[in-house]
Amino acid sequence: MADIEDTIQTTQSLHEDSTAIDDDVPLQQNNYSLLIVCKCFSLITAISAILCISVNILAAFLSFKNRFDVFDGIFRIYAVAIAVFVVVAETEWSAFLKFCKVLDYWVGRGMLQIFVAVMTRAFPDYYGERKDLALLQSIASYMLLSCGVVYILSGILCIGCLKRKLEHKEMTKDQAVKDLEELERKKQELEASLLEN
């Protein structure tokens, strides 16, 4: 019983320390603002990569259908496969990021995004048969190219490291609150069982 009370007091002091940190509201709002901006930018990047995927699938389908250029179709399939890596990296799925450690860093993500953008823009419709496809290729590639450049610049400025630290701090704070609630529940159960005996 004494061990549980000591643990509860320790957890409460940690919780009080975290609420004392919460009193610094402007700093906390800036932290939340940075995390929200990063999530919005990640969503924009994922949408750009999905647009590149759809454009490359359409171009590959047309290449194979018309038997115009089989190598262009194969090239587009590779672009789709690599663009899928970009989309999955933006979800920040931990199992995937353990497999591809370089995509955990923003400079690596930016380089991959620029590579996909260049692959999407390569082999434009030289004969002008599909101007709508060429326009879509340009839009998708320039969107992803700009996202890649922003990722590289942000990675150089260590914004990705700052984001990871803020997310870790937020997760630690949430875990401390959950642990405190769990210990309070156990304390109430033990007190109830002592009163019954």
Q: pLDDT, tens digit, for every residue of 12-57?
A: 554 555 444 445 555 566 667 878 888 899 999 999 999 999 999 9
Among candidate residues 128, 97, 112, the one with its CA nearest the CA of residue 120: 112
Angstrom distance (rounded) from CA 152 to CA 105 = 9
Report the distance separating Cα 152 and Cα 157, nearest Å: 9
- Residue 38's pLDDT is 85
- The average pLDDT across 146-152 equals 94
What's the whole-number average pLDDT of the chain? Answer: 80
pLDDT at 20: 47
Query: Averaged over 68-92, what is the pLDDT?
Result: 87
Higher-confidence residue of 76 and 1: namely 76
Q: Which residues neighbour 98 within 8 Å (Cβ) at sequence distance 6 or greater?
A: none
Q: Are 79 and 56 in contact (CB under 8 A)?
A: yes
Phi–psi pair at 149, nearest 5 degrees? -65, -40
Please report which helix (H) or strand (E) contains residue 3, including its range: helix 2-22
Query: Angle at Cα 65 formed by Cα 59 and Cα 66, nearest 5°?
Result: 95
Does pLDDT of 5 surpass 80? Answer: no
Whole-angstrom distance, CA of residue 81 vs CA of residue 61: 15
**Distance separating alpha carbons of residues 155 and 136, to the nearest angstrom:** 28
Q: What are phi and psi of 192, to 5 degrees?
A: -65, -40
Nearest residue to 154 (alpha-carbon basis) of 92, 93, 98, 110: 110
Residue 109 backbone dihedrals phi, psi, to 5 degrees: -60, -45
Give CA 150 to chain center in angstroms.
Answer: 14
Cβ-based neighbours of 50, under 8 Å, separated by 6 or more: 83, 87
